[in-house]
Amino acid sequence: MKKMTLAAIAGLALFGTQAEADTKTVEAALKQALPTIKPDAISESPLKGLYEVVVGARLFYVSEDGRYLMQGSMIDLKSREDLTEKKLADARLGALKKLGTDKMIVFKPKILRHVAYVFTDIDCGYCRKLHSEMDQYLKEGIEIRYLFFPRAGKDSDSYYKAVTVWCAKDRNEALTRAKNGENLARKTCDNPVDEHMELASAMGANGTPMIVTEKGAILPGYVPAPQLTKMMEEKPVALPEAAQDTVEEAKKP
């Protein structure tokens, strides 16, 4: 029994060493082929010979020899689960957490039940509709964390409106005024609008509003408050790891 135990321990140690070596091979190959990419995490995928590489809110698959890079969904045909989406949910939440709420415009409810990240465009009709119903979201206990995604792109009128709102003394009030159609005097300052846009693009945004739930799921378009609550309270088969502490962190003073 003792010999078997020692053999098992040695086998696990060897496996761990090999896995670490393969991870370093993938990391080295990526550094050489794509020097601008800085992986946040590299780990084994469910499919032997493939490694998951997380870069911000993106997920790639790379062969263990570091030669091949792939994008797309990995589906478990037995369980009918999209394994890639689960990992992407974690990656999205990780990227949002890394950005930090100090770089978002937050509307807080009296009693917090849920958190929703909303990529918004000040000139978008449905974005304005969502904002006009802010009281309903807050009544549902949903904290709205706004990020900007001016669809017309950098240096557009919508872009400068977003910068102006961010540079206002009271950002929440300025955002409401801008969404009500008021033309605010243009202001400039250090702002996270470009970071917001880059993150939205990494998540595949092609319209606004784009909602990212506390579970890391993407909901394209406007969703009424009661429906959003219902969707966020539906429990998935497996909750993404990063989703477990999102609301708990929001409750901290």
Known catalytic residues are 121, 124, 127, 151
Helix, coil or strand: residue 209: coil
CB-based contact 243:214 (threshold 8 Å): yes
- How far apart CA 110 and CA 126 sit, in angstroms, is 25
Backbone angles phi, psi at 218, to 5 degrees: -100, 130
Chain mean position to CA 229: 19
CB-based contact 84:70 (threshold 8 Å): no
In terms of C-beta density within 10 A (0-12 exposed, 13-18 middle, 19 or more buried), how is residue 184 classed? middle
- How far apart CA 124 and CA 14 sit, in angstroms, is 56
